[in-house]
Amino acid sequence: MNDRTPEQPADTVARLRATFRSGRTQPLAWRTTQLRRLRDMLTTHGADLAEALHADLGKSSTEAFRTEIDFTIREIDHTLEHLADWLRPEPAPVPAHLGADATAHTQYDPLGVVLVIAPWNYPVQLLLTPLLGALASGNVVVVKPSEMAPATSSALARLLPRHLDTDAVAVVEGAVPETTALLAERFDHIFYTGNGTVGRIVMRAAAEHLTPVTLELGGKSPAFVDRGADLSVVADRLVRGKFLNAGQTCVAPDYVLTDPETARALEPEFARAVEALFGADPQSSREFGRIVNERHFDRLAALLDSGRTVTGGGTDRATKYIAPTVLADVDPKSPVMREEIFGPILPVITVADLGEAIEFINDRDKPLALYAFTESDRTRERLAAETSSGGLGFGLPLAHLTVSDLPFGGVGESGMGNYHGRYSIETFSHRKAVLSKPLG
């Protein structure tokens, strides 16, 4: 991992806690130095990380930089630009009965020792973005990369100690045993990105120490296509959003809801959009990734019979390739609709109208994102007022994730808590109330 003798989790946490208690991480200068060093790591070793991402997920260099490396650099730059303002104490009005000489304000205090457990689908972005938020807030951090992206995990474990304060940031590699051992320790905050099954395990472990948690989960994010929408544009944007990272994106459109006539009209547009993006043979495209492992490949391949194939459907287990696939005539009770797909399969479900679409969405767990393609202000108003989701996007899937001044997070089964920009400061800090009254 680094030049240190390998530590037990308890020793790692104790060492980092001693650093935090020393006050070393409190000054703004220390925080900004760590962020600049993290940025330097990404700019200096971006090619190494892109190579690791290709080894783990078949990501092209273009996709690796756009969705992971450059994404994180932009988040660092945004934080560096605004951090001093975000941390400034905020005055609060004082009621008259306390006297005119009483003052009050709130201030952000760092929480202490933070644990960040990252997933495999965006193993750079989804480890470093929470890390930079925790460091900007003045915490010390244990980061656990995903063992399912071993090349990226190894690269991060090698690079992070070269650039960051090793008394304040520790990288722990491993699988379930190592994660279990970490969760037995007392942290001041746990940030987990992944699925709901493991999220429940994290919450149970955190409850033993009354540790607050942020859970960034997933779910089946619907995309509603209204009558009269420009279907060529809709298909292009859905295909780009769905098949990014071979569909292994927590906020990817999971399924499409639309009326029967629009569904039929969308079919040729989907086929055209896939070919326009990946060519006649997506398997040979450098821009289309691969499934992370054989277990997930087998799970996804079993879903391909859930409807009529509009485009795609091809598979190659040897290379973990599943073609970008659109399915029509899908029964809402079919296997592809039972859980989050998390792969390059897009089912189309028909509903009579907007009201039935809203009912369909509300009958299921609250999604991480809801997308809609419509020119109707009334439709937008109804979706905003009558549904609940982590994020709501009109006309463009995934884009809300890239806006640093928007909170990113789920609700209900899709998660709890949020981060990005100043919302990371709120997540990794305690907003302390301070009141002062002179003794005179």
Is-contact 241 401, C-beta < 8 A? no
Q: Are residues 198 and 229 in the same domain?
A: no
pLDDT in tens, 46-59: 999 999 999 999 99
209 shares its domain with 280: no
What are the tokens at 167?
A: 């008394």
Question: Whole domain around residue 55: which residue ranges?
Answer: 9-217+411-436
Asked whether residue 43 is assigned to any structural domain, the reply reads yes
Helix or strand (DSSP H, E) at 170: strand 169-171
Query: Within this chain, do residues 327 and 393 fall inside the same structural domain, yes or no?
Result: yes
* CA 83 from centroid of its chain's CA atoms: 22
pLDDT digits (tens, 9 = 90+) for 304-336: 999 999 999 999 999 999 999 999 999 999 999
Say yes or no: 170 and 278 in one domain.
Answer: no
Domain for residue 4, yes or no?
no
Helices 9-21 and 176-183: angle between axes, nearest 10 degrees: 50
Catalytic residue among 250, 269, 413, 426: 250
Q: Point out the catalytic residue in the list 63, 68, 75, 216.
A: 216
Query: Is 250 among the catalytic positions?
Result: yes
pLDDT in tens, 233-290: 999 999 999 999 999 999 999 999 999 999 999 999 999 999 999 999 999 999 999 9
Question: Which CATH number is 148's domain given?
Answer: 3.40.605.10
Q: Are residues 81 and 185 in the same domain?
A: yes
The pLDDT-based confidence of 7 (bands split at 50, 70, 90) is: confident
267: helix, strand or coil = helix
- The CATH number of residue 248's host domain is 3.40.309.10
Which residues lie across from 56 on neighbouring strands? none
Same domain as 63, residue 49:
yes
The SS3 of residue 320 is: coil
The model's pLDDT over 104-159, given as tens digits with 9 standing for 90+, comes to 999 999 999 999 999 999 999 999 999 999 999 999 999 999 999 999 999 999 99
174 in a structural domain: yes
51 in catalytic set: no
Domain membership of residue 1 (yes or no) is: no
Total number of domains constituting the chain = 2
Q: Is 346 within the bounds of a domain?
A: yes
Given a contact cutoff of 8 angstroms between Cβ atoms, the answer to whether 239 and 347 are in contact is no
Query: Which pLDDT value is given to residue 5?
Result: 57
Residues 263 and 184 in one domain: no
